[in-house]
Amino acid sequence: MSLQTPLTENTSDEFMDALAHPGQGYRVVLKNQNFLALWVGQIFSQIADRIIFVVFISLIVRHFGPGDRYSSFLYIAFTIPAVLLTAIAGVFVDRWPRRAVLVSTNLLRAALVVLIPWAADATGGWAIYLVAFLISSATQFFVPAEAATIPMIVGKKSLLTANSLFTTTMMAAVIFGFALGDPLINLFSLNNVHWAIAALFLLASLSLSLVKTPPLCQMADGVRPASNMSEAFGRFFEEIKDGLSFIKASPLVRNAMLKLALLFSAMVALCILFISFAKTFLFADPQIAARKFAYIIAFSGVGMAIGAFWVGHSFHHARRGVMVFNGFACIGLCLVLLSLVGHIPQKDYAFQLPNLTAGFLNLDAVRFTMRMLYTYTLAILMGIAASFVAIPLQALLQELIPEDKRGKVFGVQFTILSTSSTLPVLIAGLAVEQVGVQTMFMLIGAPILIFGVIGLYKRLKAGKKHVSVANW
């Protein structure tokens, strides 16, 4: 049975009305039932994704010890499908019913999560990387389908607000996903927590099944369906080439993607470094650090949620280029300051929140030190800055890319993001064992700070006279 039901004439009229009367503010976009269903599905899916990562890291430390290179291998397992499949997936997203893709990918990930206990016990833990690879492969079809669906169900003038809300909730999911990883492992045990993750993917599928999308663009007049596999693959590679040609022909699109690739590469490499950072400066026990490093990422998620809400609420008329370079400069500064954490006392000024008990749920007491507070504050500021980079750039891409090319172009985009992060992740995992995490923060942060400051200076000096898109 098809997951995509036919749209009625009234449904199409609803889409046309929504596009003809775009609103401003979060209240208006949340009145759009299709966007609301997509948004709720994203929340469950993102939380499940984050919890999975904490569980995988905990399993890897259990099987292989605290070496940072094994955590790097996990990122590689997640990244290889992104490099190989995302552009391919983007082409199919332009042809397949988007709702069917959104629902089926979450159902598949729920089924794969059930394999985690087997993966942990098989081959001495090495099969963990296989399950991570398969889950990531399914995700590569979900991501471009989700990105291409947003502009189909909201008006152009609401894109910034819709993307801000999506980024806000994505970062909220980062907060709850990474923060819930440790207590859920304590509650269900590392061997049974996969059932909770599978349930979240199933809830995502249920919500996404309610999304109604307008019909995809029809094939051009005179174009017939492919008669054989050879012709189908020929057209397939032509469409990937078409996506690449569009990016090459549009300097604004290309530059926006390169900036997003820089941001994404830095953030992914930092996730590896945060594991080493937690073991070196925050927690003495590597097993505890392997789970609680996620709190640093969670606090950066708090910052991104704050920043995303701020952008969507107050920066509709701000110059996007100024926002982007301000964000880069702030990220670089935070990393330079984070490299100085060794000068902050670790044992002095420690204080502790009481443990929380509610029925069957018992959460351990939360202990903070000045070093933790310093780290978490910088993580929040870095998250705010990242939202000032990501949201304007992504909104610009959705405005500039035609609807019939969004799937393939976003597929190429996510491939660029994944490919650009692979080498930094591998280098971060190996180099941190040689030079230390403080040096790595400085090596990453200083160039980003310089890039942001120079770009901001040039943007302010140039004004708007050399800009081909309003507000850039």
Average pLDDT over residues 328-353: 81
In the chain, the largest separation of any two C-alpha atoms, in whole Å, equals: 75
- One-letter amino acid for residue 381 of the chain: L
How confident is the model over 369-392, as a mean pLDDT?
90
pLDDT digits (tens, 9 = 90+) for 241-252: 777 888 888 888
Is the pTM higher than 0.75? The answer reads: no
Q: Is the dihedral of CA 434, 131, 90, 3 positive or negative?
A: negative
What local confidence, expressed as pLDDT, does residue 442 receive? 92
d(CA 134, CA 425): 19
Q: Is the pLDDT of residue 360 over 70?
A: no
Q: How large is the average pLDDT for residues 114-127?
A: 80
List the Cα angle 138/140/145 in 5-degree steps: 105
- pLDDT digits 0-9 by tens, 66-114: 666 777 788 788 878 877 776 677 667 767 788 888 999 999 999 999 8
In a domain, 127, yes or no: yes
By C-alpha distance, which of 338, 328, 348, 331 is closest to 375?
Answer: 338
Would you say 380 and 305 are in contact if contact means Cβ atoms under 8 Å apart? no
- What span, in angstroms and rounded, lies between the C-alpha atoms of 248 and 254? 7
Of 162-171, 178-187, 300-309, the range with the lowest mean pLDDT is 162-171
* CB 101, CB 145: distance < 8 Å: yes
Average pLDDT for the chain: 76
Number of domains, the chain: 1
Task: Give the strand pairing for 356-358 and 351-353.
Answer: unpaired
Most confident of 122-136, 253-267, 331-345: 331-345
Q: Rounded to an integer, what distance in angstroms lies between the CA atom of residue 415 and that of residue 390?
A: 16
209 has pLDDT over 80: yes
pLDDT above 80: residue 205: yes
Is 9 among the domain residues?
Answer: no
Asked if the structure places residue 228 within a domain, the reply is no
Q: Which of 69-73, 197-201, 307-311 has the highest mean pLDDT?
A: 197-201
**What CATH code is carried by the domain that includes residue 265?**
1.20.1250.20
With tokens 């300097």, the residue in question is 251
Asked whether residue 472 is domain-assigned, the answer is no
Cα–Cα distance measured from residue 66 to residue 145, given in angstroms and rounded to the nearest whole number: 36
Lowest-pLDDT choice from 121-125, 297-301, 456-460: 121-125
Q: Which domain holds residue 147?
A: 19-213+233-462
What is the tens place of the pLDDT at every residue in 228-240? 445 555 666 776 6
Q: How far apart are CA 383 and CA 300, in angstroms?
A: 4
218 vs 103, more confident: 103
pLDDT at 462 over 80: no
Mean pLDDT of 435-464: 87
At 170, the pLDDT band (50, 70, 90 cuts) reads: low
- Would 223 be classed as within a structural domain? no
Provide the pLDDT confidence category of residue 333 given band limits of 50, 70 and 90.
Answer: very high
Highest-confidence segment of 120-134, 274-288, 370-384, 451-465? 370-384
Neighbour tally for 34: CB within 10 Å? 21
